Every structure is written in C-alpha cells, then in structure tokens.
Amino acid sequence: MKFDLDDYLSDLETIVNIDSGSEDIKGISRVADFFEKKYKNLDFKVKRHFISNDSDTGCSLEITNTDTEEYDVLLIGHMDTVFPKGTAAERPFSIKGRRAHGPGVIDMKSGLLLIYYIIKAVEDEVTEDPLSICIVLNGDEEIGSKNSRTLIKEKAENSKVSLVFEPGRANGDCVLERKGISGYNLKFIGRAAHAGVEPEKGINAVVELGNWIVELDKLNNYEIGTSVSLNLIEAGTASNVIPAEATASLDLRFKSEKERKKVEDKLEKLQKNPFVKGIKTDVVHRGMRPVMNPSPKTMRLWERVDKIAQEYGMDINWQSTGGGSDANFTANQGVPSIDGLGPAGGEAHSVDEYLELDTIEPRFKLAVDLLLSLKSNPL
Ligand SMILES: [Zn+2]
C-alpha cells in the first residue's frame, strides 16, 4: 500500500487555491470538476446534483463503483468552505515546518482529498469482487447541508457503514458523538414613534426581544449539553425613534430531544404571551441536525478502528463535540458512523487554520485498512 505525500500535497495545493465558500457556486463547481476527473479515471460513475439554475447552493457529487443501490461503505466529505471569494489569493496554500495553511486546508479539503487517495489504494488492492462504495461530496455542508441532506440520508439508508472525513481533532481524536443543532429566526414587529414627542404611541420591538433574551438565557444548561444562544441581533432605525422592528438569530445545541422540545415549547409560550402589548412575533425554524449518539454498532466499528490504530502504534481516542456535521444525519439513520477520520489539525474556520502534515499518511493507512477489513470481515 503506497502513499506519495508529495503527490497528495500537490493536489491539495490545487484545491486549497480554488476558493469554494458556500456562496461561491462556481468555485464549488471547479472543485467538483477536479474530483469528477479523478474518480472517472478510476472508472467510478460520477453524478452531479443541485446544478439547476435555481439551486441556491453549490453542487454535490454522488460517486460510486456499483450499479446496485446497496453500499458496503459510504464516505462523506464537503467541498465548500466558510471563506469568501478572494481568500485563496490573499493567503494561498503554504507549508511552514510540518504544517500546511490556506483556506479550508483543515476543514476540510485535506479530508476531502484523502478520501480519493484511500479509494484509489483500496481499488488497487481489491481487484476481484470489490467493495461497493458510495462517496458523497457535498457543496453546502457549511450552510447546514440544506440541499444535500436528503441525498446523504438516502445513501446512508442503503449503506452498512458511514465514514465522515471531517478533520481529526487537534490531538488526533475521532468523533463519535455530536450535539444536535437547531436554528431559529425570531422577528418582532411593533410600531415606530417619535421617542420624544409621543413615545406612548410606539410599540417597542426591542423591549420584547430583550425579555425573550432573558427568558431564553435561563434555558442554558451546559452540564447536560444544552446551549441556547442569541448570536445575531438587529434593531432600530435612529436614536430618537422607538424601534418598530427587531430580529434575532437563535442557535440551539442539545444532546437530547427532550431538551430541544423544552426550548421549542418555551418559544411557543413566549409567542402566545407577549411582554409588550400589540407586538407581533414570528419564529421561523431554519433547520436542524439531529443528535449523533454512538450506537452499539458504532461502538463495534470504533473497536475495529481502535484495533487498527493500535497495530500502527497510533494513540487515537474518540470524543464528543458541539459542532455538527453530516455524520449527524447518517448516525440518525441508524448507520454505524465515525467522523473526524480526516487528517488532524486545528483552528478551523479561522485565518490560523492548520493541517498537521505528519497525520496524513497514518490516517490514510488507518482508513485503507478499515475498508479492507470491511471487505474480509463485514461488521
Ligand atoms: Zn467541515
């Protein structure tokens, strides 16, 4: 099983230097072109989704080596990043010491590319009766996989195992548990009035919002993993006008459905019983990722990963995180799912993001052995 780090880094440089922020539909399409060509060279079938003119996200690729709709393994990575167009020109791919930098290098162009190297090695190794493989590379993960989630769920439903190549944690750990995420847009509509001449005629949207902030803050319970955060607020038009409108964006993270329900019940109650007379409120659910809890089958898959890691002398553990990924969807479909299988690094979503070069080859070997073991000894 050969791995050429120089080849890998040269490919990585190419894709990191293509801007592919979630809004940059053309950029995502260029990354898709890169992978379409590579997988077609391996004789894989490549199907592009969400490419119509009215698609509001970048495309997704469905890549497979089989005509059946049943897969031994589903591998997932995302092509989009959180960085706007122009970032790659500002700070292109670079290597300093044993770390690589550049937009999306850790989240997750390195993992995205590693999937290809893994598949290529596995295809070289197993020539007869190969594993049936499905790969989904989506272009909207950073905006909640709003279009691709259906595709991912559908593919997960027909797969025995799901492996997600989001980055390994800074210490190399994988991820078996992720919190659920739910987002809401809150809107308050009152009535504007001159703050000096006739304030009594106003219906103050900010006062209503302020009361909601205090009430919702009471639902935070970090010990059991619930966080209720109002992270974006807009209100008012001028310093002498009673604000007629206020909006807020709510981010909820939870480890149990019960906690999610608690917050939603509270939102309903607040809406029914406004603090400010005459105010109108609107709560729009932006979408949700379900909780990813490690099932007994996921634990069996993890034991296998752990065993292979030990054979290579790697010390990898698993951890739980509050950040969501597409593994939330696959785990929720009841498919054993492991995430964080990509190379390790840190400071994702920031200018300081980095990839640890020395974790690339070990992660490659780990995943190749895991896939080969799924062939010889299905879970
Ligand atoms: Zn990511």
**132-171 pLDDT per residue, tens:** 999 999 999 999 999 999 999 999 999 999 999 999 998 9
Residues 162, 192 share a domain: no
User: Is pLDDT of 126 > 90?
Assistant: no
User: Is pLDDT of 378 > 90?
Assistant: no
Which secondary-structure segment (H or E) carries 134? strand 133-138
Of 244, 263, 289, which closes a domain? Answer: 289
Cα of 78 to ligand 1 centre, how many Å?
Answer: 7
Please give the structure tokens belonging to residue 98: 């044993």
Residues 251, 312 share a domain: no
Cα of 52 to ligand 1 centre, how many Å?
Answer: 24
pLDDT at 155: 97
Residues 308, 268 share a domain: no
Of 224, 255, 289, which closes a domain? Answer: 289
- Over the stretch 344-370, which tens digit does the pLDDT of each residue have? 999 999 999 999 999 999 999 999 999
- Mean pLDDT for 291-310 is 95
Cα of 230 to ligand 1 centre, how many Å?
Answer: 23
Count of domains observed in the chain: 2
Residues 103, 141 share a domain: yes
Cα of 139 to ligand 1 centre, how many Å?
Answer: 11
- Mean pLDDT for 194-204 is 97
Cα of 107 to ligand 1 centre, how many Å?
Answer: 5
22-40 in b/e form (b: 16+ CB < 10 A) is bebbebbbebbebbbebbe
Write the CATH number for 263: 3.30.70.360
- Mean pLDDT for 282-309 is 94
pLDDT at 323: 87
369 CB burial (10 A radius; 0-12, 13-18, 19+):
buried
* CA 374 to chain centroid: 25
Cα of 151 to ligand 1 centre, how many Å?
Answer: 17
Cα of 125 to ligand 1 centre, how many Å?
Answer: 29
Please give the structure tokens belonging to residue 286: 């932006």
**Pick from 49-53, 77-81, 213-217: least confident:** 49-53
CA distances from 375 to 81, 87, 135, 341, 362 (A): 33, 41, 17, 19, 20
CA distances from 369 to 118, 119, 311, 363 (A): 9, 11, 11, 10
Cα of 196 to ligand 1 centre, how many Å?
Answer: 50
- Over the stretch 314-347, which tens digit does the pLDDT of each residue have? 989 999 998 899 999 999 999 999 999 999 999 9
Please give the structure tokens belonging to residue 66: 């089989």
Residues 279, 195 share a domain: yes
Residues 175, 189 share a domain: no
- Mean pLDDT for 113-130 is 92
Residues 142, 188 share a domain: no
- Mean pLDDT for 232-258 is 96
Cα of 92 to ligand 1 centre, how many Å?
Answer: 19
**Pick from 17-26, 122-131, 179-188: least confident:** 122-131
Q: Report the percentage of the chain scoring pLDDT > 90.
A: 91
Average pLDDT score over the chain: 95
pLDDT at 297: 94
- Over the stretch 25-67, which tens digit does the pLDDT of each residue have? 999 999 999 999 999 999 999 999 998 777 889 999 999 999 9
Locate tokens 């009152």: which residue? 190
Residues 66, 208 share a domain: no
Domain that holds residue 283: 180-289
Cα of 108 to ligand 1 centre, how many Å?
Answer: 5
Residues 36, 141 share a domain: yes
